[in-house]
Structure formats: structure tokens, C-alpha cells
Chain A
Amino acid sequence: MDGEITRSWRDPELFVKALPSVLLQTTCFLAPLLMTFILTFQRTRDFQLRWTWDLATWTEIFSKPHYWTILGHTLFMAIACVIVCIVLALPIAYGLATRFKAYENEIKTLITFAFITDATLKTFGWVLFLDKKGGANFLLSYIGFPPETVAFLFTDWATLLGMVYNLLPFAIFTIYLSIDNIDRSLILAAYDAGASKFRAHWEVTLPLCKPGIWAGSVLIFLLGVGVFLEPKVLGGGKSPMSAELIRQTFETRVNWPLGAALTLVLMIVAVFIVLLFTRVAGMKRAAT
């Protein structure tokens, strides 16, 4: 056994076999990342990149709390979005996997449509609907509500609504798959052992769909950290999130080193949170 392992590492063919994958990873993932990192030590002057190799950009980032406020706001919005999505997706996915099994294909097709319809279009659709003179207020006033009941457009609530709306299918799909994988006889066994419906959910269904909840959470968190459309369109650009800040830094301010540094900070913090999350989730699973 031992000999086999060492031999496989010394296998000269191994490098040849691994070469395509290594090349692809290097050119498409590691090299851009490295270039981004190098970029943070340069400066731009007169819309031109200057190779200066100093820490000016990093000094700016760590001295201005503004950037960190935006980062904190971004993380807060992403986490709120994860929680809302999971809470909404659980009953929907459960219903799909159990009650509406007969319409499974139709419902899946509809959700897929929601996926592939352009997010920009849908987000602007919400603006029309939530506007002071929009569809929502029109309908509500029609049934007797005072005018302009719906007045949360261009606030964080509207941003959150847009994020949840666009990212919910990811949670539904991951949770649906894990519920669908649960052997029906496990639920029957719980009933047989004396469990009420609620108890069977709590003791069997919920623990067994945890992998789907974890996967959906990570996916939505990472996508949620990167949203720029919703805060701009639905949030009215009043409290920008990190992705919008980075876009502005690159495009409007043409400060590439700062944009690169902000990108790296966001990436590192997001990855750190995901790792922390999976560690905690993993520990919980080992404990039960």
C-alpha cells in the first residue's frame, strides 16, 4: 500500500496526465487572481496605470471606515437573504417533494423559467410593481387601502426582496433534492416508533435535509455577496453594496488598484465566512 502511494507520486507520467488540468487552473484562475493581487500595489495617475509598488492602496482601505461599512452592509444583506430564502424554501421544497409530486415536472419547469429569465428584466419589473403609482398600490387601493401603502421601494427592504426573489430557486432546488432523497420508510418508521407528524419532521426530515440547507445557504451567500443590480435598481443606489462599489471604483473612478484591493477583501472575507460556516455545520453534524 505504502509503496504504491509513493510510486504514484513519483510516476513521471502523472505530471503529463495532470498537465491540462494544471494549465487550465493556472491560466484561468490562479493567474488572474495573482494579477489582481499585484495590481493592488500599483497606482493610477491620469487614467494610466503606474508601476510603483507601494502600499498606498492598502493604506487607504484600512484608513477609511467607509469601505468597511459597505462591506458590513453587504454581508448583512447576504446573510439576511440566506435566512429568508431558507425559511421560504423549506416548506416550498417539502411541498414539492411530497404533496405536489404529481405536478413535479410542471413546477420544476416553471422554476427553471424563473432561473433563465433575465434578472435585470425581473428586477425592473419589481420597480414597476412597487412604485408609488405602481401595480401593488393600484391593487391595494382598489380593495380599499389608503393610497401609497406600499412605499418601501428604494430602501434596503426592496433590495432584500429583489435578492430573495432572484436567489430563492437555488435554495428550493438544493433542499428539494435532499428531501427527495429521504427514504419514505424512514418517515414511516418514525411514525411507527410513536412520532407525531411534527416530531417526525423535527427528528427525521429536518436533520436529513441539512445537507441541502447547507449547500443552498453557501450558494445564496456567495451569490448574495456579489449582487449589484438589486441595490442599484430596487435600493435606488442609496446604500450601495460591495459589488457596486467595486464597479464604480473600476469604471467611474478608474482606480484599478483600489478596485482590485476591494475585490480581494470581499473575496477573502466571503471565503472565510463560508469556511467558518462549514466548520460549524460539520461540527454540529458530528455531534448529533
Chain B
Amino acid sequence: MTEAPILDISNVHKSYGASPVLKGVSLEVRRGEFIALVGPSGCGKTTLLKQIAGFEDVTSGTIRIEGQDMAGVPAALRPTSMVFQKLALFPHMTVAGNIGFPLKLRKVPPAEIAPRVDDMIRLMELKPEYLTRFPKALSGGEQQRVALARSMISSPKLLLLDEPLSALDVKLKKVLQAELKRLHRSVGVTFVHVTHDLEEAMMLADRICVMRAGRILQLGEPADIYYRPTDPFVAGFIGETNLLPVTVKSVTAKQTVYQSDEIADAKGNVPAAMVAQDLAAGPALMMVRPELIRRVADGEKMDCSLSATVTEVFTKGGTVQYRARTDKGRELAVEIQGTSALPMQLGEKVRLGWQKKDIWLLRPGEA
């Protein structure tokens, strides 16, 4: 069952003068999906979103919504709706005026607008008495809900979110993230969410598209991005990770054989499922997440292990973070579930190990 994608971006380029912003981006978004575009500032994610909305043209390539080419279609006529970073609520209109504005423009009679505004108010869990107030009289979180309500009232096919949560404090952000997720589930609209916060993307999105310097580095489900990155940049983009240099000897359909100057591994091979698709013989990186590394007791057998000296201890409440320096001078981050007695002491020489199922081999990449 292959349904046509609701949004089909193919080989989109964009340059401002001589400087390219997007260098060939292709992306298909399925109906009802929550997709996040993530990347550092200047990676082109906002430009791509604005192109979908119709605020920016494409230098080359096509954007199709429901199979229809959007070239030359103005923003006003696209079945998309945007939630702006600065919310862009109209300061001279009341909350009701703001939410009903898209319907007013579509010449819906006022008698029909009012009940639909009420529906949105209820969906967004806003108080009805806010309707007659002006946006600036509302708190940041409430304004956010009004902006969402205004974007949802015209039943868009695609809801485009341009970092709408970036200006909020951490606590409110968490509440509104949960709200967005609930909203997405209840209305079934396709969401395209731009954020520079990969953690937020992991929480919310069905699929994440990591961008950098005008290209898509990786597109996949949150677990893929976290545990199976195809690029060191993606690996380092969220949380902490350890990337240890190894040399790949051979790659076959069954297993990959590698060699390391430091990691003790009896067999020196990795099952095919544990390596990135584009891996080839030569230098590579072995990724192990800090929480998957643990101390190896004397005489205990472990798939992979190396010896290191503990250089830092950070107690983070639930977990304890360690920094260790390997014998070859490499930095290693280790995170261990906290216990009342510290499992490792500062300056202690320890053996650290991890299981083969927890590793991931990837190409070193340019960065």
C-alpha cells in the first residue's frame, strides 16, 4: 500500500545571489505524519519551510503538495498554514479576530465564524473570556495556543511550524510540546516542524530530517537518528556520544571485520545490522552511547573493552557521568545509573566495556 505523499520535495535548490542555501533537497512526507526538520542555524531548514509555505521561491527543483506543483502558487492559495517563530499575532485584533481571520478572508459569514472559533478555543484549551482580549494581554503560552488556533481553523493540509517553541522557558516548552503531540494525534493533520533542538524533534516527530549546510544528512525515525546515525555530525548532534576510530578490513553481507589499536575484541567483527549502509573498507568510527558503557569487573568477559583512567565525575541525580581518558589518550564519556556508592572513583584505573549489540560503525565523514 503506497499512498501518494502529501508533500513531495524533489531536488530543490536555492541560492541568494552566488551563495547557495539549499543544495538539492529531496523529501517525501506521508499524510498525517509529524516530520521534524532539524539542523544548526543556517542549514536551510527555515528556507525550505518558507518555500513550502510559498514565501520563498525555489531556484530549481519542484515542491508538490498532494501531487500539485506549487511553482507560482502564492502563499494565500496554498493548502498550508504556518505558525511563526514570533507567532505574528495581529496586535490590533482581538483573540477572536485573530483566530477567525483566515475564515474572514475566505468570506465565511460571521455567523459561521463564531462557532468555529469557539471550537478552536476548546481544542486549544483556552478560556472563552480571552476571546475579546488583545494578544498582548495574554501570557506567552496562551499566545502560542492562539497562534496554533489561527493556523488550524482553516483546516490546512499541512501545518508548518517555524520554531514556535524556541522563545519559551523550559517548563512551558515541555507543556506545549505535549500539547503539540496531542493536537497532532487528535486532528490528523500533517505537521512539518522546524527546530534546532534535536531533543524536541525526538520527542515529537515520527520522522526526523537532519540537515546541514543545505543538504539532508539523514532522514529516519528518532531511534535511527539516535542509535544508527550515518554521519558523525548526526551522531554528535544529540546528547553525548563516543566515536572511536577503527579501521574496517572488510564489509560483507554477513559481517564487517574491523581492527582497533585499543579496543580488545576477541573476534573483531560486527554483524551486518550494526553498520551504516555506506560503510566501506578503510577508516571508520565506532559509536557507543555513554549510557551503554559500563565498568567491567576483573575476570568478567565482555564483547569489547579497553582500559582507561577516570578524569571527571559529574553527579547528575539519577545518573552519574564520568569522563575517562583511554591509554591512547582518547576522551570517553560514560554514564552509569546512580547508586549511593560511586562505582568508579576519580583517578581510578578501570576497564570499561560494552556489548557488541550496542555498537554502530559509521563512515568518518568530512567533519
Which chain A residues have a beta carbon within 8 Å of chain B's beta carbons? 183, 185-186, 188-196, 199, 203-204, 207-208, 285, 288
Question: Chain A's nearest CB lies how many Å from the CB of B172?
Answer: 21
Complex Cα distance, B77 from A192, in Å, reads 8
19 contacts between A and B (CB under 8 A): A188-B53, A189-B82, A189-B84, A189-B89, A189-B150, A190-B90, A192-B76, A192-B82, A192-B151, A193-B81, A193-B101, A193-B150, A194-B77, A194-B102, A194-B106, A195-B76, A196-B76, A203-B105, A208-B91
Contact B90 A191 (CB under 8 A): no
Q: A193-B102, A195-B105, A199-B105 given as contacts; is B88 within 8 A of A188 (CB)?
A: yes
A194 in complex: contacting residue of B53, B76, B93, CB < 8 Å: B76
Q: Is B74 an interface residue (CB 8 A)?
A: yes
| Set of chain A residues within 8 Å of B90, measured between Cβ atoms | 186, 189-190, 203-204
Contact A288 B85 (CB under 8 A): no
What are the interface flags for B91-129 relative to A under an 8 Å C-beta threshold, 1 for contact and 0 otherwise?
111000000011001100000000000000000000000
Q: Is B75 an interface residue (CB 8 A)?
A: yes
Q: Is B144 an interface residue (CB 8 A)?
A: no
Interface residues on B, range: 20 to 34
| Set of chain A residues within 8 Å of B82, measured between Cβ atoms | 188-189, 192
| Set of chain A residues within 8 Å of B88, measured between Cβ atoms | 183, 185-186, 188-189
Complex Cα distance, B75 from A204, in Å, reads 16
Question: Chain B's nearest CB lies how many Å from the CB of A20?
Answer: 36
Contact A185 B86 (CB under 8 A): yes
Contact B92 A192 (CB under 8 A): no
Contact A188 B91 (CB under 8 A): no
Q: Is B195 an interface residue (CB 8 A)?
A: no
| Set of chain A residues within 8 Å of B54, measured between Cβ atoms | 191
| Set of chain B residues within 8 Å of A207, measured between Cβ atoms | 92
Contact B55 A194 (CB under 8 A): no
Contact A193 B85 (CB under 8 A): no
| Set of chain B residues within 8 Å of A185, measured between Cβ atoms | 84-86, 88
Question: Chain A's nearest CB lies how many Å from the CB of B12?
Answer: 20
Q: Is B154 an interface residue (CB 8 A)?
A: yes
Question: Chain B's nearest CB lies how many Å from the CB of A59?
Answer: 50
Question: Chain B's nearest CB lies how many Å from the CB of A213?
Answer: 13
Q: Is B190 an interface residue (CB 8 A)?
A: no
Of chain B, the residue at the smallest CB distance from A188 is: B55
Question: Chain A's nearest CB lies how many Å from the CB of B220?
Answer: 29
| Closest CB pairs A-B (n = 9) | A189-B88, A193-B102, A185-B88, A194-B105, A191-B75, A207-B92, A185-B84, A192-B82, A194-B76
Of chain B, the residue at the smallest CB distance from A208 is: B92
